[in-house]
Structure 1
Amino acid sequence: MNKTESLKGKLALITGCSGGIGRVSALALANHGCSIAVHYNASKGKASDIVTQLKISGVNAVAFQADLSQYNNVRKLYADVVAQMGPVDILFNNSGVTNTVIGPQGNIQDLSIDEFESTWRTNTGSSYLLTQLCIPHMLEQKWGRVIFCSSVAAGTGGIIGPHYASSKSAMHGLMHWISMRYAKDGVTCNAIAPALIKETTMMANVPDELVQRIPVGRFGLPEDIASVVEMLVLNSYMTNKIIVADGGWTAGAF
């Protein structure tokens, strides 16, 4: 069985699919015959464009709107996807928010506990709940892929603030537990930790001089992350890993 045949007919749910990383990851998996559930929150036009592009490539694709800051919306998203497209085989937890940016020199007093909790709920809690909902089908068929989009901030503290960095590092502990618990059942679970990827919300106001800190000499592209997503979906032996994709900015994994 070749790689294309092994994924043909699988359904991939990609949250935050209207952004750069989500869009290119959807196209990459579609090239292997996957159907794509395109999640978006506010960017309806972009989501519609992606669905059109995916359908032209010959795969089934449907757009689903959901504000993932509320758990009931997560449950509804899952129910809508299953009702319209069937059970989820591949889950890419890609969506996330930064909320208030205080930077590495900011004051912890500038972030309320309410905003801290809200950031965790959107970035980590919703990803946990969606994974919890999707795993039973993966276990039943003895095949599944779960991927979390983390950040180098999880290992370095980052440039947003403690709410964002800690919400991303929490994904790593979650990923480690899931991967160890369900590896024997054919379900792999991994995380990708990108940094400075163009065409994303995170890069909206990043100064160009930051590129000088990157050993490869350029900012990342969504394609750089999508290729890792593709590898993790195709690979049945790699699990329990954090893949850092930051152009060499950090020295090794964390």
Structure 2
Amino acid sequence: MASQKPLEGQLALITGCTGGIGRATAITLARQGCSIAVHYNAAADKARVLVQELTSSFGVRAIAFGADLSDYDNVRNLHAQVVEKLGHPDILFNNAGDTVKVIGKMGDIQDISVEMFEHTWKLNAGSSFLLTQLCLKYMIDQKYGRIIFNSSVAAGTGGVIGPHYASSKSALHGLVHWIASRHAKDGVTCNAVAPALITETNMMANPSDEIKKMIPIGRLGVPDEIASIIQMLVTNAYMTNKIIVADGGLTPSAF
């Protein structure tokens, strides 16, 4: 009898796995039989609890890996440790990122130093590029792989954080389009999800009423709603080279 879990035997590496979207995605994929490499930066206790939940509730393999991804050597070490302890990832969800500093839509660009700009790009785009580069060879060799980036509507609209953050997220879209076009024939799909105003995350821990009013459907999104998009992108072999916008109707179309 065929397995009822379509991702059984596969391994997903999820960066920023202890945050709202990362945790929800880990649970969603584990429910489908996928083992999870749980990356965290500082939230070791949350990572430990999540690993326990994944292994006990879904019977998958799960191990936590701590790494500050603003350092490229740490990115390389993270990949090496995951391969050593769990094997090569079949699925990579580049989810980790940070706002670094918030200046708002009407902020002063002078408040973002070039050093802060470069740090934001390194953390939000550079580390994801390097981790993707490290994971791709195995995916190409086995003729199967799923690469997903967590972007933001800020990539297409400018957003409410600042130019450093918006531009670092739009950089991910260029990666998606090149990788997807280059490796479609290798069985590797590459996509991004671009959420806006998702509650239960560090960015939207205490949303104001003004922010809530921005959303046409009248509420913020929840991590499970983003995780369901990740599941679709993982399980759909025909879906590639796309930016999936999930924002409650804030923007009228994709970008």
Return the alpha-carbon distance in structure 2 between the equivalents of residues 231 and 42 of structure 1: 29
Deviations 1:23-42 (A, max 9, x none): 01001100111100000001
Q: Where do residues 225-236 of structure 1 align in structure 2 (5 Å cutoff)?
A: 225-236=226-237
Shift of 1:232: 0.3
CA deviation vs aligned residue, 1:109-147 (integer Å, no higher than 9, x gap): 111000000000000000000000000000011000000
Residue number in structure 2 paired with 1:92: 93
Count residues with an aligned counterpart.
254
Partner of 1:77: 78
In the TM superposition, 1:186-225 aligns within 5 A as 186-225=187-226
2:249 corresponds to 1:240: no
CA positional deviation for 1:3: 8.1
Cα RMSD between the aligned structures? Answer: 1.2
Partner of residue 156, structure 2:
155
Q: 1:215 to 1:97 in 2, by over 3 A?
A: same
Residue of structure 2 in register with 1:47 after alignment = 47
SS at 2:148 equivalent: strand
Deviates more, 1:214-223 or 1:144-153: 214-223
1:6–1:237 CA distance, 2 compared to 1 (3 A) = same
Q: Does structure 1 residue 175 correspond to structure 2 residue 176?
A: yes
Per-residue deviation at 1:207?
A: 1.2
The letter of the residue matching 1:54 is L
Structure 1 regions of 5+ residues with no counterpart? none
Counterpart for residue 15 of structure 2: 15
Moved more, 118-127 or 211-220: 211-220
Alpha-carbon separation, structure 1, partners of 2:19 and 2:150? 13
Is 2:138 aligned against 1:137? yes
CA–CA distance in structure 2, aligned partners of residues 232 and 3 of structure 1: 20
Offset of residue 17 of structure 1? 0.2
Counterpart of 1:202 in 2: which secondary structure? coil
Same amino acid, percent of matched pairs: 65
- CA distance in 2 between counterparts of 1:17 and 1:145 reads 17
Alpha-carbon distance, 1:210 to partner: 1.6
- Opposite residue 103 of structure 2, the aligned amino acid is I
- Return the alpha-carbon distance in structure 1 between the equivalents of residues 114 and 206 of structure 2: 25
Q: What is the distance in 2 between the residues matched to 1:112 and 1:212?
A: 32
Deviations 1:120-179 (A, max 9, x none): 000000000000000000001100000000000000100110000000000000110000
User: For 1:92, what is the secondary structure of its paired residue?
Assistant: strand
The whole-number CA distance in structure 2 between the counterparts of 1:113 and 1:185 is: 38
3-state DSSP class of the match of 2:234? helix
Structure 1 stretches of at least 4 aligned residues deviating more than 6 Å after TM superposition: none
How far did residue 192 of structure 1 move?
0.3
Letter in 1 for 2:174: G
Q: What is the aligned partner in structure 1 of residue 35 from structure 2?
A: 35
Residue equivalent to 2:129: 128
Return the offset for 1:217: 1.4
For 2:227, what is the secondary structure of its paired residue?
helix
Change (3 A) 1:62 1:136: same
Gaps of 5+ in 2: none
User: In the alignment, residue 185 of structure 2 is paired with which amino acid?
Assistant: K
| Structure 1 partner of 2:114 | 113
Distance, in Å, in 1 between the alignment partners of 2:129 and 2:3 is 28
SS of corresponding position for 2:127: helix
Letter aligned with residue 191 of structure 1: A
Deviates more, 1:208-217 or 1:95-104: 208-217
C-alpha contact (below 8 Å) 1:151/1:195 kept by paired residues: yes
Q: Is the partner of 1:151 in helix, strand or coil? A: coil
